[in-house]
Each structure stands twice: as C-alpha cells, then as structure tokens.
Structure 1
C-alpha cells in the first residue's frame, strides 16, 4: 500500500482538480445483469445436486435385479427424471416466496393472518399437493403388480374384482403429509434466505476467495444429513401414527367415493357397496413408511440444497460479482466496463434481493478485496457525485431508516401520554370549578346528596326505595361525557332486570362487590391473563422482543443483515481512507458519520427504555432490566458502537480541523460507553 506523508486530512482542492469536465462515464450494466446469471448458476447447481438425490431414491424404489437397479439407462433413469418434477415444484415455491432476512411480526396471530391472506402462501400449498400426488403416482407405478397397489384387486379365484383400497390409503397419506409439510414450511419460514453476517476479520485478505464451491457444498450438506434424516424419520413416524385415525374417522368415505367415481370412468367395477377393507396389511405398512420417508427426504433435501446455493456470497470464481473475472493464471476472462456504477445501481435498487446482495458485495469488497476498495475512492468522475459520497449516503440511509422507524413506533406512546396529561388537566379544572360553585352556592348542601359511610365489615342491606347495587351499576354507565361503558349491553340489561326484581337485596357485600363494574372487570381481566399464560394464548402474545425488533428492523422482513453490512462497510472504508483516499474526500463526511452513528445508538437505547410493552406479554417483568434486553438489537447496537469507537480512535485528533465540536465528541464517547481504554485521544 502506498503511504502518504502529508498531514491528514489533505486539502479539499485536490478532488476538484482531479476530475475533468469533459470526462465520460463508461457504459454501465445494471446490477441485475450480474445477479440474474448468478442466480441461474445457483439454480443449476441445486438442480444437479437434487438429480443425484432423485437417482438414489429411484434406485431404492426399483424392484429390478441388482444390475438394472443401478443402471441409469433404463427404468431407473426414467424414474429419476419423474422424481425430479416434485423437486421442481419445491423450487417454484422457493423462487416465488424467497426473501432476505427473518420474518418480522409482533405475534404469532399476526404471522398467521399474513399467511392466510397471502395468495402465494396458498399457492405453496397447491404446489406441495401436486408434488405429493406426482410422487405417489411414481411410487405406486414403481411397485407394480407385486406391490398390490393397482386400481383393481382381483382377489381370489372365486371372488369378484373390486376397487383396491390400499392405494387410496397411500394417496390420502401423501395428501395429509403435503398439508403438514406446508404448515412446517410456513412455521419455520423456509422461504427466508440466510445471508452470512460473519465479521470482516474472518474474511480473506487476498483479492480472491478461492474456496471451491463443490467442496463447500459437499461438506455443508454432509453436516446437515444426519439431523435432516432424523427430522424426516420423526415426521414419518408421526404421519403413520396419525393417518390411521384421520383416514378411518374423517376421510375414508370421501376418499373411497372419489376414487370409485374416477375408477368407474375407465374401469369396469362392481356396484359401489362401500370400502371392503385393506389387504396385505404388513406390506402396506412398510410401503406407507418407506414412501413417506422418501417423500419427506425429497422435500427437506430440496429446501436445504436450495437454501445453501441461494445464500452463497455474491462472487464469481472468487471475485466480486460486478468486477473483472480472472482465471487461475491471472488472465482476465470477463471484464466490467463500470463495476462501481453497477454496484451503485444495486445499492439503489428497489428490489429487496438486488439491494441485499449489493450491500453484501460491498461488505466483501471493503473487507476482502483491497484493490477493488481503492477504486471506490478514486472514482470521482460521476455525474451526480463521487462513488464514495453515494456509497456513504446509501449506507447512512440504512441507519436513518432505523431512527425513522423508532420515531414512528414511539409516536403512539407519546400521543397517549399527551392525551393522559390533557385528561388530567381537564379533571383538575372540573374539580376547581365544582369547588368554586359550592363556595358561592346559597344554603347548606342537602344531606341526601352525601354518600352513606358503610362499614365494610358489616353487611347492611339498603332500605327499600333507596336504590340497589344493580341500580347503581346501571345508573353509573354513561354519566361522564366520553366515558365508555365497562359492561356489555347484555350485562346492562341483566343489571336493570336485577334492580326491578330486587335480587341484590339478598346479596352479601362480597357478592355485591363481585357484581360491581370493578369486580366484573377484574374477573374478565383475570380470565384473559389465565388464557394468555396457557399454551392456547401463545399466538395472542406480543413479546417485548418482537415488538422492539419490529420497531428497529422494520416489517414484514427484518433489515438486520443489511444494517450490519452497511455499518461494517462504512467503517472499513473510513478506516482505509487514511492511506487509500488520495483526494481527501472522506474527511469531509466523517463528522456526519460520527453524528449519525451517535444518534442511532442513542435512539435505539432510548427506544428500548421507552417502548411500552404490550399487556399481552405475560412474561415481561417491569422490575427486571433484563426484560428489555433484545439480543439481535444488542448485536446491531454493539456493531455500531464498535465502528464508532474505531473511527474515534483513528480520527479523534483531527476533530477540530474536521468540524467536530467538543459536544459532538462528548456525545460520541458517551454513546460508545465506558471501557474504550486509555487509547482514546482527547480533543485538543
């Protein structure tokens, strides 16, 4: 690396003289022109891997001799291609519903509502049903007549042919397993693409990431093979145990009638007298177990393979996706006319996938590709602004989005506080006016207007004609302007009826207290809290952690990984600018970066302290500070603190010349917190 002897920061005039007004920007390709071919390669690799899995299952299904069973040319090869169609159905689901980041909702009920009202979610159920149906037909066809899975059961020589119920049970099993797999797919959010968030220190320092993809794929998939097999085995046992009850209790008549209607259109069947019963039970149990296990393995492996390949870094042959590609000898085999322009187009993209992968590529460039990182500082001849200014602005926009979401989340809380304060002032004013009116009134107040002091230890029934508890309840509803009735209309009618009949005259004080509005409200609240604490109330809870994550990371999917990549990329660029920024353009933006980092840290911490927990969060303890700790938010906050600390340690001595005041430095140090060590440079 080239070093500079001039005092940092350099003069601002160098950047202006470096650019020429007649300079032309080279032709730029959009980021999608790089990302789309990369996704095609990933899809092809995933398809080839799943073809191998389909071949293994085709060999297992075959009932031929050992030679013909393993020979790809023949029925095993045909069966392999047919089994690949259910795999393609899973790939269609993943391609249509994939997203970057974790699913972000405040409660399980909200997640379920989003899934139920989503058209693509129901389409995923349709694709799983199609996949299960096609797999079942291939399995039944593979077993042939020896498996006793034909449409017609010939029976013994003296019996009439009849519709075979065994394949009906198997097809019903495949449909039930497809519905269960869809629910698992939704619950565990298989559509989420996991993006690496490793630290920059773990990345290579060279200009090439030379880990071969086949080796990484084999190693990763082999590590997941045993847990995946265990999961599918458990699912198979549960499915076999469930299908007997579901089929014979709920679905047997419907499945038999549907199969008979379909079979009678192409076959000559006897009169439909109902299901005759299962035959060859031992073989049927083994067929149900093996077919269900193979189907679950096919689905789970398809999802695992697709997730592995789709979440690979945005590189090609070890180089950044938008940069020049070289072979093993160092000879360029692919060039990009304007790699930085293509990267900027990806960072500005409105599509979630393009923007996330562009931020990921920027992070890799800033931490693992020094030569490409230097080009980001040298590219100052753009029409709008330099590459550095656009990148820094886009990275800071991720942090500004956090602050915007936090302010929106806290706005209802602030509004409620203002309304409560206004209501308190109104009541105080009404009390003051009432006392003044009593002072200026003539005569003594009537004794009947005063309440009767009743000893709660003695239950004295009220005299006849002076009202009752039920009557007081009914009269108390709606006496204050704008007050809402604590009782439902039915409860109000019952209270009025009780007043007319005089039932409450025979009630004890405890019973009258239970019938009061406060007592009814307490009983209803107690029942609600008991329900929320039970397993039934889990979907209705809104835990504080989920509410805070929605406020900080956004909806419907979390932007956490994009924020981490933006913070780490910006920090790496600022630290590298001291030796690589020949034009000194970064020094003018360091105050803005420090202030933005500081404000973001303060807003996140204040949001965790001010955010009001939902009343449905039965596990929240107001007295325990750990209840307001959210691990994912703390991770992002610590990353911003780490970046701010590194920038302050590197450029703290230049604070006065860069325009940073003592107040800015003090707030930044307070945001970072104690424990920065004695290396922190004091502001001169």
Structure 2
C-alpha cells in the first residue's frame, strides 16, 4: 500500500503501465488493485457493524460413538474396603458419614445456612446500626469503587489499568492487536489518486466503471465512522474523559481527502457515471472537514 500510494502520486509512467496492463489471464492489473484497496476500506465498515455483537456459537464437540471403558468399579454400599457406616450419634459422626457416602457434597453446604443465621444474630447484638449499614453489599461496592478510582488516579499505576477512549475506539475500528493506520490511509489515497489520474492516463476507460462504487463506498464508510465515533461510550476507568482518537481521525481525514478529490474530478461527469444528485450531495457533505476554529488575532492596546 505504501509503494502503491507513491506510484499514485509521483510516477506517471508506472500509473500508465497499470492502466494499460489489461491482457492478464486473471484480469487487468487495475481490477486487482481496485479489489484489494476497496476491500481494505470496507474492512472499517465491517468492524463497525460487528462491534458489540455476540460471537457466533461454536459447534458442540462430537460425542464418542462408543462408551469409554470403566477403569474402576463404582463404590458399593456393602464394599468391605469402604469405611464402615458410623452411627449418627453426633454432628461430627453425621458429617463423616456424609463425606463417605456423598463425595460431591461438602459440610459447608450443610452448615452454610446455620452459620449465616448465627452470624446475623451476632452482628445484630454486637454491631450498631451504622456499622451494619457500612457492611451492606451496596456500601462495600461504593467503597471498592472509590478505592478503584484512587488507584486509577495514581500516575504510575493508573495508566496501566485505564481504558482510554482513543485506545478502545482504535481497537474497535482498526482491529487488534495492532491498530495499523498506514494501511487504510495508503489504500484510500492510492485508490482515489489513481482514479483521478485515470481521466487523462487511462486510454481504455477501465477505471471509470469503478468510480461510482468508490465514491459510494467512501461516503458510506465516512458517515458510519463518524456516527460510530460520536456514539462510542467512555469507559468508567477513563478519568480524563478525553474523546479524541488520533488514529481514527487520521484515517477519517484520508478518506475525506480522497472523496473530495473524486467529487471535484468526476463531478462534471456524474450523469455519465450514473451517479444521482443524492449520491453527489451525500459525497460532498461527507468529504467536508470540520472548520478549525480561528485563533483570535492580536489587537494593539489603545
């Protein structure tokens, strides 16, 4: 993509060679370049559409056709090797008997209701009302939340655990584990500049058939990306609340610049390209960058 972007910008002879290479067995060279670049741009839209969806259910593992051979015999009630049944004369004896005859059950499961009831009675007798309210689950969650925020605010430990808006948005749009922006920027640049140069360098007119799809694709991806960015939630660990993502902004600006060049070059031929007025209007709106706020000029004191 990086080399292709250089060719689209600086090397007219190699651009013309791409346009004139039409005798390949598997199709013209332009068709291959167009397919790779447009699929790269559409990858942004595909990730946006798939974000937040539940993963597809995996197929269950096939069950074995034949049962496995038993390695040991099941424990019998009258087995001489098994511990003898102890008379239930005490709570301890009862517990031991249950452990032997029901290995899957623990004493904690039997004692849990009793312990919970006794603990509640002790807490009511020892703790005051304020202390009992302090140990309630809601209060404990509030304490843990405050402690977590204090840890996040530490300059050394905090950045490790904070999930910033920019990092999460870049991962959602550009993919993981490596959110590489240059691939998408160069793909958008190469595709748009090759299409613009085809007006004077493509003698066979192969490129113009794909120009409407390029314009519509750029328009759709830009609008979806802006909507997704504006509605993307901020994580509770992001203490800065900064909704800036330089990586996504760079890709978005590259798409806008490429679309603006296409609209300017092919605007007079939109009717011949079967582009409706609505297509061109949406493309112009999507290609516009937000106007930067001008800094106030310095005024001489009177």
Q: With the length of structure 1 as denominator, give the TM-score of the two structures.
A: 0.32
3-state secondary structure, aligned to 2:149: helix
Of 215, 225, 235, the match for 1:594: 215
* Alignment partners' CA distance in 2, 1:630 and 1:659: 36
1:366 aligns with 2:5: no
CA 1:501/1:606 → structure 2, altered by over 3 Å: closer, same or farther? same
Q: Which has the higher contact order (CA 8 A, sep 6+)?
A: 2
**Which residue in the other structure is 1:537 paired with?**
158
**Pairwise mapping of residues 435-514 of structure 1 onto structure 2 (< 5 A)?**
496-503=117-124, 506-508=127-129, 510-514=130-134
Please state how far the C-alpha of 1:585 moved relative to its aligned partner. Answer: 1.3
Shift of residue 494, structure 1, vs aligned partner: 8.1
Structure 2 residue 275 is matched with structure 1 residue 654? no
User: Equivalent of 1:604, from 213, 225, 229?
Assistant: 225
| Paired position in structure 2 for 1:628 | 243
2:235 to 590, 614, 618: 614
Q: Any unmatched runs of 5+ in structure 1?
A: 1-358, 413-491, 621-626, 677-684
Task: Considering fraction of residues, name the structure with more helix.
Answer: 1
SS of aligned partner of 2:270: helix
- Return the match for 2:141 from 511, 521, 531: 521
Aligned twin of 2:17: 375
Tell me what 1:546 maps to.
Answer: 167
CA change 1:495–1:656 in 2 (3 A) is farther
How far apart are residue 599 of structure 1 and its match?
1.4
- Give structure 2 stretches of 5+ with no counterpart: 55-112, 292-302
Q: For the aligned residues, what is the CA RMSD?
A: 2.4
CA-CA distance at 1:553 after TM superposition: 1.8
Residue equivalent to 1:672: 287
1:674 is displaced (CA, Å) by 6.4
**Distance in 1 between the 2:280 and 2:252 partners?**
18
Check if 1:640 corresponds to 2:260.
no
Q: Please tell me whether the aligned partners of residues 410 and 607 of structure 1 are also in contact (alpha carbons under 8 angstroms).
A: no
CA distance in 2, matches of 1:511, 1:558: 50
Contact 2:260/2:288 (<8 A) preserved: no
Partner of 2:48, secondary structure, is: helix
Shift of 1:661: 1.8
Instruction: Show the counterpart of 1:395.
Output: 37
1:257 maps to what in 2?
A: none
Q: Secondary structure at the match of 1:604?
A: helix
Contact 1:377–1:387 (CA under 8 A) maintained in structure 2: yes
- Say whether the 8 Å CA contact 1:410–1:611 is kept in structure 2: no
The answer as to 2:178 corresponding to 1:557 is yes
Whole-angstrom CA distance in 2 between matches of 1:557 and 1:403:
17
Q: How many residues are matched?
A: 233
**Preserved contact between residue 574 and residue 586 of structure 1 (Cα < 8 Å):** yes
CA distance in 2: counterparts of 1:493 and 1:657, whole angstroms: 84
**Aligned-pair CA distance for 1:387:** 1.1
Q: Secondary structure at the match of 2:143?
A: helix
Highest Rg: 1 or 2? 1
String of CA shifts for 1:225-280, please: whole Å, max 9, x gaps.
xxxxxxxxxxxxxxxxxxxxxxxxxxxxxxxxxxxxxxxxxxxxxxxxxxxxxxxx
CA distance in 2 between counterparts of 1:675 and 1:518 reads 45
